[in-house]
Structure 1
């Protein structure tokens, strides 16, 4: 299989998977080294396909989805409640963004699309090895939420409002 065909196969494998696909799994399926997969991913990205690396593997951001930035504030004890409100209503918490007074804008991928992934995220936070990014800003943070359509995003936003998490956006986030 030549490089072009292999990269197309990588795209197909990742898109058809309902969970992130590790570089090791891709390497095994395609009978190449992990380094070849890393190089192929870089070339795929260079061709404009949004491949995101998560701690669980690679995912391709579905560019057909609708996206919305939301501002939120809650305690670390309420993180799971916020994530469940997003995923239970058909959304994906793509990332988290904070506006730190010293470091300015900081962003990290989440790609949480299910209760299981939300629980895994919380287990990592609760293990004590890491803290939530929003803890650096007294619970204030932003998410890019994606969903199949605007109506789904409206439902998610409404539930976050009802829970008291939603806040109006600041102008800097839209720049």
Structure 2
């Protein structure tokens, strides 16, 4: 397959190609890259991804691009934790988590009008953390936690529960983990 397609892929053929491409990718792929490779606009890709998701394909949109969630990915433990910190501690929080071999799947806040707002993050390494923070900075975007004075939830995933417990302990020591009384 050439780097860029000469022929525009149409409809179902393009969605099949997108699904295959994402399944075989080792990491997230941006809509811009997918659009270039399939010779369509990024908006067409966004629509295609929406249709694939409606078919229950496990595709998530992360800050680094689209990701196909492989079944049996080695994740055996998940836990939702509550954290509170200001914007300046975001890198510290994420690095603590990924340094323990744990993935930050998402962030969730409770908005007074919209209810729960959840955004996929999917960071597993310090490199992922840096890419996420660079994207936040380059777009001048707000963190969801800024809507709730720093209070937010994360879904964490890891190969075993002990890894998550150790990450929680480190977050507690850093004053970031919110504990139940």
TM normalised by structure 1 equals 0.75
Which residue of structure 1 lines up, in the alignment, with residue 69 of structure 2?
Answer: 61
* SS across alignment from 2:117: strand
2:52 maps to 1:44: yes
* SS across alignment from 2:100: coil
Q: Select 1:113's aligned residue among 121, 124, 127.
A: 124
User: CA shift at 1:73, angstroms?
Assistant: 0.9
Q: Select 1:153's aligned residue among 164, 167, 176.
A: 164
- Decide whether the 8 Å contact of 2:79 with 2:156 is kept in 1: yes
- Decide whether the 8 Å contact of 1:71 with 1:169 is kept in 2: no
- Decide whether the 8 Å contact of 2:63 with 2:132 is kept in 1: no
Which residue of structure 2 lines up, in the alignment, with residue 73 of structure 1?
Answer: 84
Q: Closer, same or farther in 2 for the Cα pair 1:15/1:90, shift >3 Å?
A: farther
* SS across alignment from 1:84: helix
Q: Which moved more, 1:86-95 or 1:3-12?
A: 3-12
Which residue of structure 2 lines up, in the alignment, with residue 98 of structure 1?
Answer: 109
- Decide whether the 8 Å contact of 1:15 with 1:60 is kept in 2: yes
Can you list the C-alpha shifts for 1:92-140, whole angstroms capped at 9, x where unaligned?
2121111234443222222222212312333344558222221221211
Which residue of structure 2 lines up, in the alignment, with residue 164 of structure 1?
Answer: 175
* SS across alignment from 1:167: coil
Which residue of structure 2 lines up, in the alignment, with residue 33 of structure 1?
Answer: 40
User: CA shift at 1:12, angstroms?
Assistant: 4.1
* SS across alignment from 2:57: coil
Q: Closer, same or farther in 2 for the Cα pair 1:13/1:157, shift >3 Å?
A: farther
Q: Distance in 2 between matches of 1:36 and 1:137?
A: 34
TM normalised by structure 2 equals 0.73
* SS across alignment from 2:26: coil
Q: Distance in 2 between matches of 1:121 and 1:23?
A: 16
Q: Closer, same or farther in 2 for the Cα pair 1:33/1:128, shift >3 Å?
A: closer
Q: Closer, same or farther in 2 for the Cα pair 1:84/1:38, shift >3 Å?
A: same
RMSD: 3.1
Which residue of structure 1 lines up, in the alignment, with residue 27 of structure 2?
Answer: 19
Aligned pairs, number = 169
